[in-house]
Amino acid sequence: MLLLILKRIGLGLITLFIVSLITFVGVEVLPGDACTTYLEREAYGAALDACIKRLGLDIPAYERYLDWASNVVRGDFGYSLSGEMPINEVLGPRVKNSLVLASVSILIGIPLAIVLGIITALWRDKLPDIMISTITIFSMTIPEFISATLLILIVAIWLGWLPGIVIIPSDATFYELLSNIILPVVAISMIMTAHMARMVRSSVIQVMASDYVQMAILKGVPYWKMVFRHVLPNALLPAINVVALTIAWLLGGVVVTEVVFNYPGLGRLVIESISNRDLPVVQALAIILASIYVGINLIADLMTLMLNPRLKSLQIRK
Amino acid sequence: MSEIIESVKNLSIGFNSQKGKQISILRNVSTNIKKGETVGIVGESGSGKSTLALAMMGYIKQGLFPLKGQCLFKSEDLLKMSSRQLEKIRGRKIAMIPQNAGQALTPNLKIGYQIDEALRLHTDLNKTERDKKISELLNKVRLPSPETMAFRYPHELSGGQQQRVAVAMALAGKPDLLLLDEPTTGLDVTTQAHVLELLRFIAKDTGTSMIYVSHDLGAIAQVSDRIVVMYAGEIVLEGPARKILKEPIHPYTYGLLKSIPKLSLAGLPASMPGSQPQPGSINEGCSFYDRCNLATDHCKKNSPDLEHIKELDTNVRCFNHKELINQNNNLQTSITKKSNNSEAIEVLKLKDVSISYAKQKFFDQLFNKISDQNPTVKDINIDIKKGETIALVGESGSGKSTILKSIAGLLKTKDGQIKFENDRILSSDLKMRNPNDLRAIQLIFQNPDESLNPNHTVEQILSQPLKLYFNLSGEELKKNIIDLLKKVRLGEFYMSRYPRQLSGGEKQRVAVARAFAAKPDIILCDEVTSALDVSVQAAVLNLLQQLKEDLGTTYVFVSHDLAVVRAISDRVAVLYQGRLCEIGPSQNVYKFPSHPYTEVLLGAVLEPDPDIKPKLVAEDIVEEKPPEKGCSFQGRCPRKIGDICNLEVPPWQIGENGNAIRCHINIDELASLQQ
Amino acid sequence: MESNLITEDKQKNKLEKALEILKTMASKPSGLIGLTIVLFHVILALISPYIAPYDYKAISPNTMLLAPSAEHWFGTDSLGRDVFTRTILGGRTALTVTFFGSLIALLWGGLLGIFCGLVGGKIDDVVMRVVDAFLSIPWILAMLLIVSLLGTSTEVLIPALGFFYGKGIVRVARAATHDVIAKDFIVSARARGHSNMSIIWNEIIPNVRDAILVEGAMRWSWMLLGFSSLSFLGFGVSPPTPDWGLMISNARGLMSFAYWSVIAPIVGLSSLIIGINLTADAFAKALGIDRSTKAPV
């Protein structure tokens, strides 16, 4: 059991190592280096020299990679060209803001998805299923920037209930923060919930068709008891991994949503750093976002390991 | 007479086809279950027997719905009850023992909880009483150490144990009626006999009525008082078990009984032509018309009703049943097969073959050797003569298929050699074998659904070996394919069909044709008939025998079914845990003296005859690994004589008739013990 | 002559099979709606240059931000361009780029996946690690970086999108191959001594084709989503080429008083994505593949 956990963690670390190689090599291979890219037409003379010195571009690539990698491991991501300050300082508030947005969305999204998934599965092909499933298809297929734009148009502009653009002063009260993030949260959790609800639905349907559920019915187990004791534990277990993958995948969509709402999180930093051609920041973001992806999947793996009776009994025997 | 518990009246169940047509899979079924009696419902796959059984619990599978009729349990119609009402009946009045307990037990709940759940729902016992009851029940179904068993998860148990748990769960509510849906299918021969024995004991002990659904007349014969035979959704024959089995007066049942291979009979069983019609394909006339040798024009147009025959106390659905009365002595006949020339040369030799599934360690990989002191298969020595059929027999885990795979080159051997024709060593690596050797050895698999590419037509399937080995194309290729199809009794029009458009028997014929396309010297048959219905099995066995007699092919025939082996093979090798126990001419292996394991296997065979009861001489323990020292059968042997069995590998003893047995007990002594 | 007949027969068989699938897809309302929408968009993309009432890039200060009227059905945008013209033209680039992008994704992802599934072992391990690593980098970050450094021409966009959307197909193709190679008909072909290439071509591809095609159809809708997100962020098609993503982005700031200029492209893009999605779903169902349990990676 412990070995299994260590193995999963090891695999995650290998993935991150490959990611660091990819981002580093990618930046090397693409035309121009960090300095010429950033300075563009001003890439000559003293400014260029200063920049090269600043980033240490004058030493060989593999040494630079080792330097950079060892710094990253120690939690130092380097220097932001556009912000003219250490990247860590740029990242700090952004990470916090994104974390608030993501966790609120997940906290709302997961329970909602489970409930909707179960409802649609149990009332399969009946009215509640048809209605919810149609809405899910719409909300999972329509791009984030469209749903976000429509939300702003309807809720903020036509109805005037909430601010359309997020402005978070550093000393914002909880209430101010809340009213500001409602729309972004709705936009993100809508699509996330739709994806997850669909998965929960088909997982529940699969389990409902299993021999052991038929057996439970024939044993005389009352319907809801059967659903809670025999169906859900077995249906939700395999869904954990898929849900994790979905959440991780939706990180990309968060970028767009943050731009639409002008929300100062990691997503907007992605756009800003790319618009500013600030390659060191882009590299840092790639590593951070990849770590989040790997981390979420790792948590899901571990949860499945803990909850699966097959593996649980393995642990007891050992 | 005694009171009727449940009665089915004119029940029809069906579904709506994609074209909107109503198709019934149960037609006008009526039957009664009396208190304390065990009724066997027998039929091949698709006969509607399971649908009928489930309907008797008021359960209709999704997509199906009752068209008409009733299922009266104590004069209340189960099909009209609300789910609330049904919850009160299911598990308490009628309980179910499912086919595959491994899948019917909820994986996330412990055994104890699942039994406790039934107790909580259907009894008024308090917690301590229930706990006591759980170990009582586990004891009753003869599970080892009931105290710890309750805390195990289903997946930690063997197949036989899971089935026993399912029985315990069904007994928890003290039902008046037990429904058993193929409760022993998929279990090993010895386990199956033990579970049946348990069920019989429970029927006697509790006086519960039972409905036993199965495709296996052998199992049905052991438990039933009365038998209902189903065909294409109808009851075709119904009556007392003994009458049905000894004097079957419906041509289907008659043919079915004749097509079952029997231990007591050498030679091949007679086969029935064709296969069961698909639901919805019969519009008029008798559903058995196509396959019946008594059929007249009258049968084509008119469908017979169930008719009561007073002197036999039997209901039969056939116009011409009188022709079958008093034909029963004909049941004990079989087709004799031409025996092979015993002076033939040896074509394949297995010498000291050992096979291991253990992964190679890094260092051993460097030196390309497998270090496993206790390999899955060990020390196999078999010489196979040209034109003979040699059978490898054993339960799951006996290594019989493993040996087959390594002959085919699909699995590397650890030690020993496989020699082909004139002592030429065959490489254990498939890629190293020359094309002619590859052609000479062909495989036929158990399940034709998996062994035929679902995206290829029969023509494409058969052209693969012809193109590969003989470079045929165009007209010649087509001619060869038609010839092959003719050989396996399939018409030319099958060429454009896909496997999914064929019945199970037809698919297996195509697989046979594919093997013969290579003009092989040896064909390896891996449980080739066990996925088929009984009536189709006999036809495939006869086909294989015919082809062999015509073409002089050698068969290595792997099977778990001793009766099938008896029918087809010239020589039999019995395997336990990857070690040979006994080998000899098939008539000798089925006679005593036998290796104690052969004795156990023979004792567990279920014959479709109520007078032949299985003899249970050993425990049905599942051993996961062969023992490291001594006799492979030491763990279960009923005739174990002491430490010598644990420590020393038993010697081969050869009887006068050429039968070789590997046992520490002297062969003559063994003979007198087994008399 | 004879063999000719056989091949003809086969072709007929394939055509019949395709028609059969189309029929099954159209037999459910959702599939029918999806097919209709996709067909409508494809036809529109083909004929729109000939039916467009105005020049899509003609700027005119006199007609700025006009509300919908008889002359300008969908109104005009902030530069006075006709929104109807730009909307019916706005799907052309997206459709072409994503169609070819999906094809590339399908090809390299499918082949690599089948290869990995078949050979297994160390090669498979290494390839899957790398694919996992690429999956863990958000596609949008990688795409934005490539586009910002290499430009937004279709020569860059198509291969880049094809690459980033193909890595998910690798996984699907590999899993499908794994399911198939355990089957006895592959064992049988191996035992007969067929070469690896012949096994891939004759036995594996026909059996994983459906799963990969369905995946490809699904990727198409996600790629469309991704592509328009890029346009929306200003990293896709360059102005003045009409593109829905770009149009939404431009009109968004003015939507408090000129909502029409944002509604028309939204309807265009959403309907196409939903259409492709419904079609892909119906396609999967017609082929008997359940893909709702899979994550969108």
Both tokens assigned to C95: 């459709």
Grouping H, G, I as helix, E, B as strand and the rest as coil, residue B658 is coil
With CA atoms as reference, the chain B residue closest to C196 would be: B431
Q: Decide yes or no: CATH 3.40.50.300 for domain B346-569.
A: yes
Q: Angle formed by the axes of helices C205-233 and C92-119, to 10°?
A: 140
In a domain, C15, yes or no: no
- What strands lie across the sheet with B377-385, from one edge to the other? B377-385, B346-355, B415-420, B424-426
* Residues with Cβ within 8 Å of residue A132, at least 6 apart in sequence: A116, A119, A120, A197
Q: What is the C-alpha to C-alpha distance for residues B267 and B263, in angstroms, rounded to an integer?
A: 10
Grouping H, G, I as helix, E, B as strand and the rest as coil, residue B191 is helix
Does residue B453 belong to the interface with chain C, where contact is any CB pair within 8 Å? yes
Which residues are registered as beta bridge partners of B384?
Answer: B348
* Residues with Cβ within 8 Å of residue B560, at least 6 apart in sequence: B188, B189, B393, B394, B395, B396, B527, B530
Residue closest to B266 by CA, chosen among B609, B655, B591? B591
DSSP state of B315: E
Q: What is the C-alpha to C-alpha distance for residues B613 and B619, in angstroms, rounded to an integer?
A: 17
Instruction: Find the CB nearest B107 among A209, A217, A309.
Output: A309
Q: What is the C-alpha to C-alpha distance for residues A166 and A160, in angstroms, rounded to an integer?
A: 14
Taking CB atoms and an 8 Å cut-off, how many pairs form between chains A and C?
Answer: 150
DSSP state of A216: H
Q: Which residue has the tokens 């085919």?
A: B408
Count the residues in chain B: 675
Neighboring chain B residues of A238 at a CB cutoff of 8 Å = none
DSSP state of C177: H
Taking CB atoms and an 8 Å cut-off, how many pairs form between chains B and C?
Answer: 66
Dmax (CA) for chain A in angstroms is 85
Decide if pLDDT at A186 tops 70: yes
What is the span of the domain harbouring residue C135?
26-54+63-296
Neighboring chain B residues of C2 at a CB cutoff of 8 Å = 474-475, 478
Asked if B106 and A229 come within 8 Å (Cβ–Cβ), the reply is: yes
Taking CB atoms and an 8 Å cut-off, how many pairs form between chains A and B?
Answer: 81
Asked if C187 and B445 come within 8 Å (Cβ–Cβ), the reply is: yes
Instruction: Find the CB nearest B98 among A209, A215, A237.
Output: A215
DSSP result, A139-194? HHHS-HHHHHHHHIIIIIIIS--S-SS----TT--HHHHHHHHHHHHHHHHHHHHH
Asked if C192 and B409 come within 8 Å (Cβ–Cβ), the reply is: no
Query: Are B286 and B318 a contacting pair, CB within 8 Å?
Result: yes
- CA B621, B622, B623: angle at the middle one, nearest 5? 115
CA B370 to chain centre: 35
Give the minimum alpha-carbon distance from A53 to chain C in angstroms, rounded to a whole number: 22
Residue B557 is predicted with a pLDDT of 95
Give the minimum alpha-carbon distance from A266 to chain C in angstroms, rounded to a whole number: 11
> Domain A93-317 falls in which CATH fold?
MetI-like fold (1.10.3720)
Does residue B667 belong to the interface with chain A, where contact is any CB pair within 8 Å? no
Decide if pLDDT at B3 tops 50: yes
Return the CATH number at C206. 1.10.3720.10
Which residues are registered as beta bridge partners of B522?
Answer: B441, B554
Decide if pLDDT at B664 tops 50: yes
Residue closest to C151 by CA, chosen among C235, C93, C227? C235
Indicate the pLDDT class of residue B359, thresholds 50, 70 and 90: low
Contact partners for chain A, using 3 or more CB pairs closer than 8 A, are B, C
Give the minimum alpha-carbon distance from C214 to chain A in angstroms, rounded to a whole number: 16
pLDDT per position as a tens digit, A11-37? 888 888 888 888 878 777 766 666 776
With CA atoms as reference, the chain C residue closest to A137 would be: C274
CA C282 to chain centre: 15
Neighboring chain A residues of B107 at a CB cutoff of 8 Å = 212, 234, 309-310
Which residues are registered as beta bridge partners of B26?
Answer: B13
CATH fold match for the domains B4-36+43-86+214-326 and B346-569: yes
Cα separations in angstroms, B638 against B399, B600, C103 = 22, 8, 66
Q: Decide yes or no: CATH 3.40.50.300 for domain B4-36+43-86+214-326.
A: yes
pLDDT per position as a tens digit, A195-243? 888 888 888 988 998 899 999 999 999 999 999 999 998 888 888 887 8
Give the minimum alpha-carbon distance from C216 to chain B in angstroms, rounded to a whole number: 20
Residue B116 is predicted with a pLDDT of 93
Sorted by where each begins, the domain ranges of chain A are 17-73, 93-317
Neighboring chain B residues of A233 at a CB cutoff of 8 Å = 108
Sequence-ordered alpha helix ranges (H) in B211-349: 217-223, 241-246, 251-259, 297-301
Does residue B91 belong to the interface with chain A, where contact is any CB pair within 8 Å? yes
Helix, strand, coil percentages, rounded to 5, for chain B? 35, 20, 40
Asked if A221 and B117 come within 8 Å (Cβ–Cβ), the reply is: yes
- Number of compact structural domains in chain C: 1
With CA atoms as reference, the chain C residue closest to B446 would be: C184
Instruction: Find the CB nearest C184 among B409, B451, B496.
Output: B451
Query: Are B550 and B565 a contacting pair, CB within 8 Å?
Result: no
**If you average pLDDT over every residue of chain B, what do you get?**
87
Asked if B87 and A222 come within 8 Å (Cβ–Cβ), the reply is: yes
Does residue A126 belong to the interface with chain B, where contact is any CB pair within 8 Å? no
Instruction: Tell me which of C136, C171, C254 to substitute to probe the interface with A (most A C-beta atoms closer than 10 Å).
Output: C136
Is pTM, for the whole model, over 0.90? no
DSSP state of B124: -
The C-alpha R_g of chain A, in whole angstroms, comes to 24
Neighboring chain B residues of C26 at a CB cutoff of 8 Å = none
Neighboring chain C residues of A243 at a CB cutoff of 8 Å = 295
Asked if B453 and C206 come within 8 Å (Cβ–Cβ), the reply is: yes
Sorted by where each begins, the domain ranges of chain B are 4-36+43-86+214-326, 346-569, 589-674
Q: What is the C-alpha to C-alpha distance for residues A227 and C103, in angstroms, rounded to an integer?
A: 43
Residues 104-133 of C with CB under 8 A from A: 129-130, 132-133
Neighboring chain B residues of A212 at a CB cutoff of 8 Å = 103-107
DSSP state of B249: -
B324-350 as b/e: b if 16+ CB within 10 A: beeebeebeebeebeebeeeeebbbbb
Grouping H, G, I as helix, E, B as strand and the rest as coil, residue B98 is coil
At position B429, the amino acid (one-letter code) is: D
pLDDT in single tens digits along all 297 residues of chain C = 333 344 444 555 677 778 888 888 888 888 899 899 999 988 888 888 888 777 777 777 777 767 777 777 777 777 777 778 888 888 888 888 899 999 999 999 999 999 898 887 788 888 888 888 888 888 888 888 888 778 778 888 899 999 888 888 898 899 889 888 888 999 999 899 898 888 988 899 988 888 888 888 888 888 888 888 888 888 877 777 888 888 888 887 777 777 777 888 888 888 898 898 888 888 888 887 765 555 544
